[in-house]
Structure formats: structure tokens, C-alpha cells
Amino acid sequence: MLPGVDGTDGPDDPAARAAALRDEIADHDERYHGHDAPTISDADYDALVRELRAIEEAHPELVTPDSPTQRVGAPVSTLFAPVRHRQPMTSLDNAFDADSLAAWGDRLEKRLGTAPGTAVDYACELKIDGVAISIVYEDGRLVQAATRGDGRVGEDVTANVLTIAAVPHRLPAGAPRVLEVRGEVYMSRSAFARLQAHQEGVNRERLAGGRKPQPVAVNPRNAAAGSLRQKDAGVTAQRELSMWCYQMGEVDGGPRFGRHRETLDYLAEAGLPVNPEVRVLPTLDEVLAYCRHWEADRGRLDYDIDGAVVKLDDLARRDEVGFTSRAPRWAIAYKFPPEERTTRLLGIDVSVGRTGRTTPYAQLEPVFVGGATVSQATLHNEDQVAAKDVRPGDVVVVRRAGDVIPEVVGPVLPRDDPDRPRWTFPTSCPCPRGSTLVRPEGESDTRCVDPECPFQRSSSIEHFAGRGAMDVEGFGEQRVRLFLDLGLLADVADLYDVDWARLDAIRTTVGTWATAALDAARERTGDAKARAAVIDEGDVVATVPDDADDVLGAELVVELTADVARFRSTADTVRGLGPEAVAKLQAAIDASRERPLPKLLVGLNIRHLGPAGAEALAEALGHLDAIEAATAEQMAAVEGVGPTIAASVRAWFDDEAHRDLVARLRGAGVNVEGPERPDVAPVLEGRAVVVTGTLDGFSRDEAAAAIKARGGRSPGSVSKSTFAVVVGADAGASKLTKAEELGVPVIDEAAFVALLDSGELP
């Protein structure tokens, strides 16, 4: 178990443990959101976040602005135009059992001042396993649809949402001037079955024609997410997506409601799809019965659910309860237990990440669990393997939460072989260098500390080229490893100095070799149509081209002749680098030179420095040279950075090899300048100014930017901490009412302009 999660004593050094957790969670976020390659289940990820939250609650001084507990959702990709949500799309806290649900109810009742036993109406809804969406109607016409993204900025998927039959393009007469509807886009089980059958039929035709099969969707949630994010809306239209609405966002000019259930009824009357299983229940006992009913009965639905959502039904009282930094206090998600299956643990291997952290993982007999066939599961670290006492050869319980790689819960006891030996953590890195692995005292992770480790180098280059950093499209895991194998690059700076002529020569040589090896295999087997899978070591050795040593290097030639699987993989990857693919890759590399400075900082793989910290440093110091020259104290003084990040950044730049790397990146023309800072005084430092309605001289984004440039904040809602509310044409009635209730000053556009100049209210 993780320290503190199971009720045992927490870490001796909370600051170090919190920093380690932030680092680990950021790594998992990168794997999940940046590479679509998660290595832990939702349950274990939630446990890490819960542990971090527990430490931060006990030690509030350790909370950092970029902590995973302070943010919502996932980074926004570059596939679609960004959309800033009119009101943040927050996440939900989770309850995993009756006790945690009861604890939430107790906290809620205390905040409401409700006497024990008094009825509190709870709106209960099914938690749809789909993709969160925000849809905006203006004067009854659908004008925009966006994914949740990071909670504040999502992706514009309007064209795709317009293809969903359940979503009306127009609302009935009398619709509000602005109505934002939030819901979940999903694919029904029956639609998913039809999609799978179609994809399998296409693959049968492809195989019959001698072509490779294409991936087949493995579960409805993944299928819905992939369908919603198609660049071609015509593809989305064929996927039979559906939607359930679960609440309103911004409303301007519409009726006022006192209850959440009333808002759902209003949406249903307007022709929007509202789930029929919504119930308003007066006690938590009835709420728990509702949750348990659907936990047992979810199989009869034609769509997947992974829990139930419980909300305070009284809208006015929600304002009394408020929000944490990332979630409403008036709602909670009751998560159903993940599905479990048993399978055989074939072996335990170790992977090495970009920071050198080694992660043991289980190799499993393939098993279908949680909507996907899986053959690997993380084991986290040495202590977890020992605590669970899983041994190669065991029959184990595998749990899959959501759509990520599952976890091994433990062995099925008693063992079929009680004398089966325990697994021991290796002492050497699995990379070709075989470096010694080190487990620092007081840490749970074992690390490879060899900076020349090829596994670390590969992962760090993948990270640099990933969407969250320099966004070099088309330069993923296989191509990175190929370029490393071929000596075309050794670090991230080499990406801007690739010998493309040599790559072309390599492609010719490897292509000739692969063709000759396949011909040899066909002659040996007597099968003129045999595919590359029949190539064996003898075929590869017998067909080595005369120029192979000169073009590929003698060492790599030896490695390829000794490993047929690697030979086939190398040949496939090289074949994919024809003139058109290379031209696209060159263009992507050139475009990455213009990426903003915060993205470069993230790409440098500096421990503890995430997107928020990188953004803060870039904005505060303005140039990579200034960051490189700054002391740890100067960086720590930047809001959103703090001493842990500052010390890590300073230590990174103190390394001569890192300074040389940065110099080479500068020489390659990579952008090293931060965002332009407006030359205005910070007259609104620390103040929150809410803008509602339409202004003549500012768009909504321009008004927010003007406030932030002067050190202020521009939230989407009114609270006790609001300094002023700026009112334009067609202002939202709810914000005005809230401002009046709280005594917050309300000003017009002329007063807003004066406020920007002086920081003072008229």
C-alpha cells in the first residue's frame, strides 16, 4: 500500500513525499494524455491523488498551484481549435464506498447547518462513461460545442456534435439568449457492437487482399472519444453517438430555477436528451440504495455507467456550500467497483521511464476485463510486488478501472504451487548498458542513474516531441527508437540537425535487405505469398547487403541479424519514412522552433517542472537566458513556482551538459523568448473582477486579458472575494443578483476603463 492510504503512518518527510507524488502523477498524466499509454489503473491513480491530497490537507503550506489536486481534466490537444469555457467545467470528488459517501453527506450537512436527521434533497443521476461536453445555444441556435479539456479550455468539436442525432440544432421559440448545456457524449452498447462488426468485416476484406488489418474498437468509451475527435465530421456521423444532458452552465435571459431537477425538466421540454433514471431522494440511505441498485443492475442498460452522481438539489444552497479549487462541495461521484477477472501471471519485467524511474509490470495471459483484452498490468514498485506477494506463475486477480492498463490485486490463494519462488527486483538496468539500479534511502522507487541509459534517452526525446511540449507530429516511440538505433540523433537538440540524406540511404539499404530476406523465406518455405512473419534468423543473415556495415554500422547489423523481431520492426518503421512522410516530419520539426517558451521548458524534462510552473517562469522572467541565470531564490519568489521546483530547475541548469544542450537548441533557432508582457502597472494585483454581458470596447477574452495583465483575476462567477462586477449589454441576471446579495460593486464599461487605469473604483 502507499503510505497513508491504508491508515498507516504517513511519510516522515511530507514535503519530499508530496514532491515525489506530484512528480509521479505528472508522469502518469503525461503517459495517459500525451502518449495514450497509461501504466496504472484509475484506482491506483486515484490512490496517489488521495494520498497527495491528504498530505496537503495536513500541511497546507505544501500546496502548489500546479499540484494535481488543484487542476481539472487533461491538457488540450492541438487537433482542434481551443475554446475557453464561459464557466469552468469542474471535476468531481469521488466516493468509493458507503463510508466515504456518508462522510461527504456529513460535511455537506454541517456546511448547510442542517440538524441530523433532517431531510436534504439529493438529485441522483447515473454517471455515464463517456466524454464530457459543453454545448452553447445563442437565441436557440447551436453555435458551439467543446470538450472539457483542462476545465477552462477545451477543444472545438462543433461540427462533430452537430452530427449527433439526439442533439437539436435549434431550440423551441422562447429559448434564452444564451444557454449552455453540459452533458456526456457516449456510444451505446448496441451501436458499439455494430461498429465492431463493421470494423471486423473491413479487416476480413483487408486480409483477403493482402493488407494489414486496422485496429478494432475495444470499448464504447474509447470508441465515443475517438469518434467525437475525428477531423472529418462525416466519420463522426457514421458512429451513432448519443448524449445525455446533466446540467446547465451559463444562462442569459432564461427562466430562474430553484431546483436542479427543475433545470433538467426544462432541458427535456426543450428537446434535449435527459436521462430518465434521475431521482430526487431525501436521505443518504435512499441515495446509497439507488447507487447499489444500479451497481448491480447496470448490465441491463444499453450504455456503460461507472457510478452515480449525487448532487444537492437546492440551487441556492449550492452557493452556500461552494467549491474547492477543483470540484464542487455540493456534489460527489459514487464510483462503482472496477470489474475483476483472474488470469495467469507469466512473468514480471521492468520498464525505465524518462527520469530513470523503473517500474515493474506484470506479463499476463491475455484476459478480457473492463471492456478490453489486456496482457500487461503495472506493479508500481518493489514494495508493491512484495506487499501483494505476486509471483510469476501465480493465478492472479486482475482489476481494470476505466480504460487503462489494469492492476494486479493479488494472487489467488492457496497457490497451486506453494513452493513457487518470490520475484526479486533486478540490480541492473534492462537496457543494453546494464547500469546499476539505485533505490535512494526513504524512497519507494528504484532508479537508473546512468545518464547514457538508452531507455531514458528514448523516453526523454519522446517527451520533448510530445503534444504537451514541442509537438513534433509524427515523431513517436517507434521513430524515436529507430533514429537512436541508427545514430541519427543522440539527444533532443540533434532533432534539428538530422542527416536526411543518410536516412534516405538507410531506407534504401534496409528496404533492399527486407525484400531479399522475404524472398529467401518464400523460397525456403515454398510459399510465394508468405508474409514477413515467416522470415527467420537464417534468412536475415543470408541476405545482409554489402553496404550494410557502412550505412547502418557494424554493431547494429549484428544486433538485427540476432533479433528477427527487431529486424522486422526496423524494416516496417523505415519503410514508413518515404519522401512524403519525411517531408511532413521535417515540416513538423521546423514548426516546433516557434513553440512558446513554456513548451520548451516542459520539453527539457526538468524534474518537478510541469506546465503551470513553466508558464509562471516564462511569464515572470521573460526569456530562457534570464531563467538560466536566475538564482533558486529568485525563481522561488515567482508565484506558482516555489522552492522545490526552483531548486530542481537551478540544479538542472547547473549541469554543464544541460547548458551545452540549451546552447545547441538556441543555435537551432528554437524560440527562447517568453510571452510579451504589457507595459502596464499591476493596479489590480490580487483582485477578482467579473465581466458579464457584452462590452463595446472589449471582447470577453480581451477584457479578461486586460484584467490579468494588471495582476488581477477574471473568474466566471461572483463570490465574496469579487472586487467588482463589470456589466455590459444583456448581462447575466444571476451574476447581478449574486453581486447585489453580497454587496459587490457593479460598474459599467466607462468605470471599467477607469479601473484599468487607476485600480480604483469611481
Backbone CA torsion sign across 412, 418, 423, 424: positive
Contact 222, 195 (CB under 8 A): no
Task: Provide CB contacts within 8 A for 555, sequence distance 6+.
Answer: none
Contact 345, 321 (CB under 8 A): no
Nearest to 574 by CA among 640, 529, 508, 658: 508
Rg, Å, the chain Cα set: 28
**Virtual CA dihedral for 389, 394, 400, 406, nearest 10 degrees?**
70
Amino acid type, 667: G
- DSSP state, 156? B
Task: Provide CB contacts within 8 A for 447, sequence distance 6+.
Answer: 355, 356, 357, 358, 437, 438, 439, 440
C-alpha cell, 101: 459517501
Nearest to 80 by CA among 154, 30, 148, 176: 154
Backbone CA torsion sign across 196, 197, 202, 203: positive
Secondary structure of residue 359 in the 3-state scheme: strand
Nearest to 252 by CA among 329, 140, 165, 97: 140
C-alpha cell, 148: 472539457
What does the alpha-carbon distance between residue 200 and residue 191 come to, in Å, rounded to a whole number? 14
Catalytic residue status for 127:
yes
Q: Give the DSSP H/E element, type plus range, for residue 517.
A: helix 500-525
Give the C-alpha distances (Å, rounded to integers) separating 256 from 39, 176, 248, 262: 46, 11, 12, 10
Q: 414: cis peptide before it, omega within 30°? A: yes
Overall residue count recorded for the chain in this entry: 762
Looking up cell 487542476, which residue turns up? 71
What does the alpha-carbon distance between residue 56 and residue 67 come to, in Å, rounded to a whole number? 10
- DSSP state, 379? -
**Virtual CA dihedral for 245, 246, 251, 253, nearest 10 degrees?**
70
The sheet with strand 722-727 has its strands ordered as: 688-692, 722-727, 746-747
Contact 163, 233 (CB under 8 A): yes
What does the alpha-carbon distance between residue 73 and residue 86 come to, in Å, rounded to a whole number? 16
Residue 53: count of CB within 10 angstroms of its CB: 20
Counting Cα atoms < 13 Å in the Cβ hemisphere of 452 gives 5
Active-site pick, 127, 311, 388, 599? 127
Amino acid type, 182: R
Amino acid type, 225: A
What does the alpha-carbon distance between residue 190 and residue 240 come to, in Å, rounded to a whole number? 10
What does the alpha-carbon distance between residue 335 and residue 401 come to, in Å, rounded to a whole number? 10
Q: Give the DSSP H/E element, type plus range, for residue 307.
A: strand 305-312
| Terminal alpha carbon distance of the chain | 58
Contact 34, 605 (CB under 8 A): no
C-alpha cell, 651: 540544479
Catalytically active residues are 127
